[in-house]
Structure 1
């Protein structure tokens, strides 16, 4: 099979003919980076896909513009048996190529700059960057030693030799760099400090933020602060993790206390897929978790917070929902206030907001009269 043809078609699809990233995409055999992956089966469970046993599916997946999940919970597809069906959240992936290119463009890269690719995954961003900048200018970091080892070996097989580091980016990042691009969602506050310290003065940072769907770009000044903006495009990446898997989510079974029962104003929606609403909710109630399900035409959304607050809203299709909520905060009410603002003003203030990041990782956002703070003990929604 002629992989060059497929890679060329992918490059033509996700870049312009005169793009500096067209050649790196066209020259990267992405199928080598993803020999096995996870996909949802007809029964909704994770099922293993193996490239060698289904070449047609392998080529379509590897050279399609889609993200491929390579690890669910602690189980990597490379280590799985054909009949394995892991449960849990994805913990690593080969990111959608067009999104990789978009993050690289945000990085304002050019010859001679050093780049830290934070979140190795399958190695796609490191591969494109090494093709463009040269291997000696690229370092890739991941918390998972298998991911860095596998990416090192697979990139070496295609003649690319960037440096790989295994480390927890929220506690320590060796070295300093002119550019840092994070393809994991970083937590504001102390978890940002190592990344900020690793960025050289005059350097540029590109990252997404935990439980938000925004892209933050910023330049570092000589005093250690970073100044930039929340982009007007969106992206969602997996949260950083410190161990083999994420901590257990706050389950609906955590509902405690006599709930207040009301009728909501707006239809139930999947909060995790409405990126700007989800991002604004995270600013208003940092640490809130969301879940959604639809069964027999009944939509149900759950919100939960570590302080014990919870909300459950259910309705048939687009009917006004019955809302149960309890705890120190009324989470569904907070969400509805954000939706009120969206309806009243036609937009939310987050995208395009100016961002200032202090060396301690606190992010201050502003746009017009709107201000917010992320990473401090007290946030200002």
Structure 2
């Protein structure tokens, strides 16, 4: 389907991506040849990052608006509740990522002619199509856990003449029969890099994946190089992102009432001078990402502010430890409650102090090492890593 002004919108998006160094010159040809619009469903839900809301847009009813979103640098929800909801549901479970994020990750992947790429998380198929245009469809294999999403992507890829092999299976297992690959890219958020992937990427090859901790929904793009022995992968983070999580690695949170069934009455009480801004920062604050690296197995949940009061909760994911800090507008100190085998708030404060004492590092100073035995994070130097 075409629409007047469509190419103008795509050109504007391309210029914007180039100006922001998200789209590199080696990917311009693929951007021009492979339209995002060809991989989006008729009914979709563009997402506003600032407000955290989505709006339903149907190309059959509002073609101009639909194409303006297709060529905008916004994420677009394409499925709710793992496909159980036909219309808008409760939880978004598949999407088309922001074009700027797509091309930044492709830049990090650093593909060369003749290389083979394994993609985890086909989604709409646009990312696979971009890779196929650059490398040839025979050099790209994509894995999608949802069979219906896989089938739709397979059809779209075939329609644009880029018939990538799309496997309907769990991406955690990778593709052992097709290995080894030169590159592996994941388009779903991870909390643990599967050890199976290490043996499926050639020594010296790259794994590019959005990775984070359960502390928040925040991810950062990890760019890991597989070692010569193929037993580990290591590298730095290149910048912030936020992805829907791999289904098998979604947040294992039992719910607030399991932790605090009787309220905060029996908890230890104290106060803190840590401010709301210092704790939360903006959506992609490096400080929050760093705290997640330092405080293991902890989930932070910030409630909405009401009448100048905002509680922020912390829950231990391997025990029943919990903490709450209550911020009040106009107050220099906040009330703190904590209970359980771990003093979670004390650990969060220690992590914030560590981040400040380390010179307030951004993502580029933080790194990740993955082996079959687990994962380790580090600041500046892999030899100074700690378990996560």
TM over 0.5: yes
Native 8 Å contact 2:120 2:185 kept in 1 = yes
Could you report, residue by residue, the CA deviation over 1:289-327 in whole angstroms, capped at 9, with x for unpaired residues? 222222233222222122111122222346432222211
In structure 1, what is the Cα distance between the partners aligned to 2:357 and 2:204? Answer: 40
In structure 1, what is the Cα distance between the partners aligned to 2:102 and 2:47? Answer: 23
Judged with a 3 Å threshold, the aligned counterparts in structure 2 of structure 1 residues 205 and 373 are, in CA distance, closer, same or farther, namely same
Judged with a 3 Å threshold, the aligned counterparts in structure 2 of structure 1 residues 318 and 253 are, in CA distance, closer, same or farther, namely farther
Deviates more, 1:11-20 or 1:258-267: 11-20
Judged with a 3 Å threshold, the aligned counterparts in structure 2 of structure 1 residues 247 and 134 are, in CA distance, closer, same or farther, namely same
Judged with a 3 Å threshold, the aligned counterparts in structure 2 of structure 1 residues 371 and 33 are, in CA distance, closer, same or farther, namely same
1:315 pairs with 306, 327, 330, which one?
A: 327
Shift of residue 199, structure 1, vs aligned partner: 0.9
Aligned-partner SS, 1:15: helix
What aligned pairs does 1:254-293 form with structure 2 within 5 A after superposition? 254-256=258-260, 258-268=266-276, 269-270=279-280, 273-292=283-302, 293=304
2:83 pairs with 75, 78, 82, which one?
A: 75
Native 8 Å contact 2:240 2:284 kept in 1 = no
What is the number of residues matched between the two proteins? 364
In structure 1, what is the Cα distance between the partners aligned to 2:350 and 2:371? Answer: 29
Shift of residue 369, structure 1, vs aligned partner: 9.3
Could you report, residue by residue, the CA deviation over 1:171-213 in whole angstroms, capped at 9, with x for unpaired residues? 353422110011222233xx51122122122311111224353
2:188 pairs with 161, 184, 188, which one?
A: 184
Give the corresponding residue for 1:63.
71
Give the corresponding residue for 1:37.
44
Aligned-partner SS, 1:100: helix
Judged with a 3 Å threshold, the aligned counterparts in structure 2 of structure 1 residues 44 and 168 are, in CA distance, closer, same or farther, namely closer
What aligned pairs does 1:114-125 form with structure 2 within 5 A after superposition? 114-125=116-127
What aligned pairs does 1:64-213 form with structure 2 within 5 A after superposition? 64-75=72-83, 80-81=86-87, 85-88=88-91, 90-174=92-176, 175-176=178-179, 177-188=181-192, 192-211=194-213, 213=219
Deviates more, 1:124-133 or 1:251-260: 251-260
In structure 1, what is the Cα distance between the partners aligned to 2:46 and 2:24? Answer: 34
Shift of residue 349, structure 1, vs aligned partner: 7.5
2:245 pairs with 221, 231, 239, which one?
A: 239
Structure 1, gaps ≥5 residues long: none
Native 8 Å contact 2:78 2:94 kept in 1 = yes
Could you report, residue by residue, the CA deviation over 1:26-65 in whole angstroms, capped at 9, with x for unpaired residues? 2222123222223579x98766432222222211211101
Could you report, residue by residue, the CA deviation over 1:138-174 in whole angstroms, capped at 9, with x for unpaired residues? 1111211122111111122222211111221223534
Structure 2, gaps ≥5 residues long: none
RMSD: 2.9
In structure 1, what is the Cα distance between the partners aligned to 2:151 and 2:377? Answer: 37
Give the corresponding residue for 2:306.
295
Could you report, residue by residue, the CA deviation over 1:99-140 in whole angstroms, capped at 9, with x for unpaired residues? 110111111101100111211122221121112212111111
Aligned-partner SS, 2:25: coil
In structure 2, what is the Cα distance between the partners aligned to 1:162 and 1:272? Answer: 38
In structure 1, what is the Cα distance between the partners aligned to 2:165 and 2:222? Answer: 25
Question: Does residue 219 in structure 1 map to residue 225 in structure 2?
Answer: yes
| TM-score, scaled to structure 2 | 0.83
Native 8 Å contact 1:219 1:227 kept in 2 = yes
Give the corresponding residue for 1:20.
26
In structure 1, what is the Cα distance between the partners aligned to 2:183 and 2:220? Answer: 19
Shift of residue 14, structure 1, vs aligned partner: 0.8
